[in-house]
Amino acid sequence: MRKIISSKKAISEIISYVLLITIGVALSVLVFNWLEGFTDPGFKEECPADVKLIIKNYECFLRNGKSVLDISIQNKGNFNVSGFSLKGSTRESAEIATIILNDTGVPLAPGESFTFEQIEKDISGISFGELTLIEVQPFLGDISPAQNRIYCDEVASQTIICS
């Protein structure tokens, strides 16, 4: 008789452990789902650390009475970029360029270069002779619309002299 009672006791202990684990897992799933509502549902992608664009060279010249700024940009990083934002500044002491010269979606693979012309008439109120600084900032993501872009922290800047 004693053997029957002790075997029933062992079974009830196993059942209690199984119930205890089941209740713990169920509660953790409930808490996870509840806390998930307090977080941002979108995953924010970030630029990899090895994204790097450089300003290889620039040239200012006149063509048909209009100022032209040729800028050559090269991807020196280890990742593809979707495009870049080119900014300029007219203040000599500026550390950050604030005037958007070009916000293009030209994809660049590692080692690839891109040269483009910026004609003065395309930028209202800015003369290339006034520019003292240009910056290029790479971005990932959609080319258009611009709000889906992820701008990288790595910014290449170059002081320039156009006359």
Residue 4: both structure tokens together: 């029957």
**pLDDT-derived band of residue 113, with 50, 70 and 90 as boundaries?**
very high
pLDDT of residue 54: 92
Distance CA 48, CA 162 (A): 34
Q: Is the pLDDT of residue 142 over 80?
A: no
Residues 6+ apart with CB under 8 A from 121: 66
pLDDT of residue 93: 80
Q: Is the pLDDT of residue 7 over 80?
A: no
Residue 47: both structure tokens together: 């630029």
Q: Is the pLDDT of residue 47 over 70?
A: yes
Provide mean pLDDT across the span 81-102.
84
Provide mean pLDDT across the span 17-39.
91
Provide mean pLDDT across the span 44-53.
81
Distance CA 123, CA 101 (A): 7
CA angle 71, 116, 150 (to 5 degrees): 85
Provide mean pLDDT across the span 139-151.
78
* DSSP output for 79-98: S-BSEEEEEEE--TT-SS--
Residues 6+ apart with CB under 8 A from 5: none
Partners of 59 in the β-ladder? 70
Residue 42: both structure tokens together: 């979108």
Residues 6+ apart with CB under 8 A from 149: 82, 83, 139, 140, 141, 142, 143
pLDDT of residue 6: 54
Provide mean pLDDT across the span 82-107.
83
